[in-house]
Amino acid sequence: MLEHGGRLRAAAQHYDLPLADWLDLSTGINPEMYPVPPIDPACWNRLPEDDDGLEEAAAAYYGNARLLVLPGAQAALQALPALFKPLAVACVAPLYEEHPQAWERAGHRLRRLPSLPRALAAGTPNVVLCNPNSPTAATLPRDDLLLAARQLEQRGGWLIVDEAFADAEPENGVADLAGSAAAPRLIVLRSLGKFFGLGGARVGFIFGDAGILGRLREMLGPWPLSHPARAVARQALRDSAWQAAMRGRLARVSLDLAERLAPLGQIQRTALFCTITTPHGAALFEHFARRAILTRRFEQHGLLRLGLPGREDDWQRLCTAINEWNPPC
């Protein structure tokens, strides 16, 4: 099983620093989470129902009713490859490593390629990518994705796009067209974990072809999402005022983070995290960890990813650590 960000207890034990002292910047989850309202106690006592308005709220928010509610997008990510007969799949890499692992586990032949044009030129039927990309923070324009979907459709293939970080900058998202006449072989994954800061609720969606969604629904079985999670997700998706205000705030804060990290290496950013390209990734990770700041290191690619601090004292801690950094000779 792959390791991911957010493993604070393991970090606290490894570095022998109290758990309560840690600042977790390893996940890219919005530290200013959606303000969860009081939950009706009946949510804990009754089984969830599909006609509670969640699907309608999601369809309005994403602009697409061709959807399936998931217990986190991870559920579809792991199950989706089993719905295709084994074939060649191109992953635009580096990317969220659960994707290639899931396709390989299902018996597909995997190709890791550095760009979407290279992936399309390889001639594989299916292409998988993250947009914005995690961990690189690169973002592909919407038009490029739709053109790619049309090219793959012509060869009988599929484009699978993970848009886990897309909500903060939705102009390049393509969830609204997944499964439509314009993009019938486009499949898109979305999540409430990052932008809404609700990673613990494990709420996700998949958009696309009705046949694919139907087969996936059968695989997931009844009640894939808890009643409390459905209630919180429904309200968050309907709260357009909070969404607009948060997008503006994240744009400002992520730019601030990128400017503060600039002395450490080459910076690329999304609204929810910044990625540093540096030959000193291992030493920089250790430098932060010794100060109880958890970041996410991608050793193979020379990358270090940092999410957004939340409170003012968190920003001060990070700035102090940056100022204390002396790169190895």
Contact 214, 68 (CB under 8 A): no
* Total domains present in the chain: 2
Q: At 306, is the secondary structure helix, strand, or coil?
A: strand
* pTM > 0.85: yes or no: yes
- Residues of the domain holding 59: 42-238
Contact 28, 307 (CB under 8 A): yes
Contact 216, 207 (CB under 8 A): no
Residues 149 and 122 in one domain: yes
For 52, the token pair is 């509670």
DSSP code of 202? -
CA separation for the pair 191, 251 (Å, rounded): 19
CA separation for the pair 190, 210 (Å, rounded): 17
Pick from 226, 186, 191: which is nearest to 208 by CA? 186
Residues 134 and 105 in one domain: yes
Please name the residues in contact with 323: beta carbons below 8 A apart, sequence gap of 6 or more: none
Residue 154, domain member (yes or no): yes
Among 238, 271, 286, residue at a domain's last position: 238
Task: Work out whether strand 158-162 and strand 273-277 pair parallel, antiparallel, or are unpaired.
Answer: unpaired
For 92, the token pair is 């635009």
Residue 156, domain member (yes or no): yes
Q: Is the dihedral of CA 157, 109, 103, 91 positive or negative?
A: negative
Pick from 164, 250, 245: which is nearest to 199 by CA? 164
pLDDT of residue 3: 63
Contact 206, 216 (CB under 8 A): yes
Please name the residues in contact with 97: beta carbons below 8 A apart, sequence gap of 6 or more: 2
Residues 112 and 222 in one domain: yes
Query: What are the mean pLDDT values of the chain's consecutive 10-residue runs (329 residues total)?
Result: 74 94 96 94 94 97 98 95 96 96 97 97 96 97 98 97 97 98 98 96 97 96 95 98 98 98 97 97 97 94 96 97 92
Question: What is each CA distance from 38 to 41, 42, 227, 228, in whole angstroms?
Answer: 9, 12, 13, 10
pLDDT of residue 6: 67
DSSP code of 35? -
DSSP code of 40? P
Q: Which ranges of 227-327 would DSSP assign to H, the alpha helix?
A: 227-238, 240-261, 281-289, 312-323
Residues 175 and 158 in one domain: yes
Among 188, 210, 238, residue at a domain's last position: 238
CA separation for the pair 193, 119 (Å, rounded): 28
pLDDT of residue 29: 96
- Only one residue has tokens 């217990």, namely 71
For 26, the token pair is 């390893």
Residues 254 and 156 in one domain: no
Specify the DSSP element, H or E, that contains 162.
strand 158-162
CATH number at residue 75: 3.40.640.10
Specify the DSSP element, H or E, that contains 212.
helix 210-220
Residues 299 and 231 in one domain: no
Residues 175 and 273 in one domain: no
pLDDT of residue 329: 74
Residues 84 and 226 in one domain: yes
Among 216, 238, 260, residue at a domain's last position: 238
pLDDT of residue 16: 94
Exposed/middle/buried for residue 154 (C-beta within 10 Å: 0-12, 13-18, 19+): exposed
